[in-house]
Amino acid sequence: MKRIIFINLFLISFIYANLQIPASPQKHPIALINGVIHTITKGTIKNGAILIEKGKIKSVGKEIKIPKDCEIIDLKGKHVYPGFIDANSIIGLVEISAIRATLDYAETGDFNPNVRAEIAINPDSELLPVTRANGILLCNIVPQGGIITGTSSLIMLDGWTWEDMVLKRNTGIHLKWPSKRPFFSGFYLRPKSEEELKKEYKEKIKKIKKFFEDAYAYMKAKESENEFKKIYHKTDERFEAMIECLKGRIPLFVHADDYRQIREAIDFFSQFKIKIVIVGGYDAWRVADLLKEKNIPVIITGIHTNPKRRGESYDTPYLLPYRLYKAGVKFCIANSANAFSAPNARNLPYKVATAVAFGLPYEEGLKAITLYPAEILGVNDRVGSIEEGKDATLIITDGDPLDIKTNVSMAFIQGRKIDLNNKHKILYEKYKIKYERMGILNPNSLKIK
């Protein structure tokens, strides 16, 4: 039986492996000239140039000094943006949601802060080249399952192994805050009664309180070797993983949508002085004043969704980014990090486009998937904008990347030129030829640039 399972997994690894070869490290300077450079932090530079050396942005501006051994790429008026960042993803941990053998995003048990998402990443996933072909070059990989689901890591969507792909390990620990009230999701209502939910809520809160108290006691005991040996006989990997969070060095990502959950979580963690980030945040606009007062950012995950309560306007989820922007709350826009959304991770720019259509300023929309997620994840010194000294993680487009008609024509991750071919493009070309031969399609009517 074990032999059959092993053979099946071995075959699946080939059936669902992408054919793109990871890019090699940058070997010589590259100059991108005659482009429209959207720096994000310092405005737009028309007819600008960028010099890339050793994976970093060496210089950017209208006039730059180009070395003799430099490869020059004339962009001919195309647009340059920082690579987009998805701050909430499970790409690389799931391939096909209906095939269990391709899923590796959740652990059993309630408290797993020591679970590391990055070591389970499949670098050969077909979803990676499809996603990066639309400009998403960085993803924060978030484990699922239980109450404390584990630690997330920010990865680059190119590399032979997970070690090659990781930009920052341990961006934070993730906790799913329980709810004690029924909460609509479109036309679906949780089958549990309000009384059952309240009972379950109390039990989970009790468990969370005990876990954090125990983790804090463990951390304090570690400060004294003698006291630690007296109380604890061996290292507890779960509590070890909590120390950085308890000391405020990394955030606790609290997944919560209902405003009651958000308030309760903020009140609860104030006693531990833990730096928290709200993930989901459907009702965040209802407690915007509190979030601003406490300087708590929100990772918005529900833009293309239905209203969650009877009587809510159809545009409630679309207006959330605009409402947080008006209230002065820091936020970014991300995906939902579930098995069904992973194949559609490439649509992240269009979620931003919807938010822009419903009031969010365009420049704020771009920042919501570039600079702001970089700041929330603690990597804004490396990515999120086009500035000297930062990683040369960039995309070149033939138009506005929030417009579905725009194509990403070129991409660089740390100065490495990325192969943007993928299964979608291959199938497009295949069936385009089929219908051309049948005389149904004009050969010049459709073309992937």
User: Does the structure show a pLDDT above 60 at 171?
Assistant: yes
Structural domain harbouring 376 = 84-383
pLDDT in tens, 227-247: 666 666 678 889 999 999 999
Query: Using CA atoms, how far apart are residues 214 and 111, in angstroms rounded to an integer?
Result: 12
Q: Residue 91's beta-bridge partner residues?
A: 94
> What's 105's domain CATH number?
3.20.20.140
46 and 104 inside one domain: no
Strands across the sheet with 252-256, in order? Answer: 84-89, 136-141, 148-156, 166-176, 252-256, 276-280, 298-300, 331-333
Tell me, yes or no, whether 55 lies in a domain: yes
Residue 211 confidence (pLDDT): 93
Query: Using CA atoms, how far apart are residues 174 and 113, in angstroms rounded to an integer?
Result: 8
User: Does the structure show a pLDDT above 50 at 96?
Assistant: yes
C-beta of residue 166 within 8 angstroms of C-beta of residue 130: no
342 and 298 inside one domain: yes
Give this prediction's pTM.
0.89
Query: Using CA atoms, how far apart are residues 153 and 121, in angstroms rounded to an integer?
Result: 10
Query: Using CA atoms, how far apart are residues 21 and 337, in angstroms rounded to an integer?
Result: 26
pLDDT in tens, 345-368: 999 999 999 999 999 999 999 999
17 and 106 inside one domain: no
Tell me, yes or no, whether 320 lies in a domain: yes
376 and 331 inside one domain: yes
pLDDT in tens, 117-168: 888 888 888 889 999 999 999 999 999 888 999 999 999 999 999 999 999 9
66 and 117 inside one domain: no
64 and 105 inside one domain: no
* Residue 109: CB atoms within 10 Å: 12
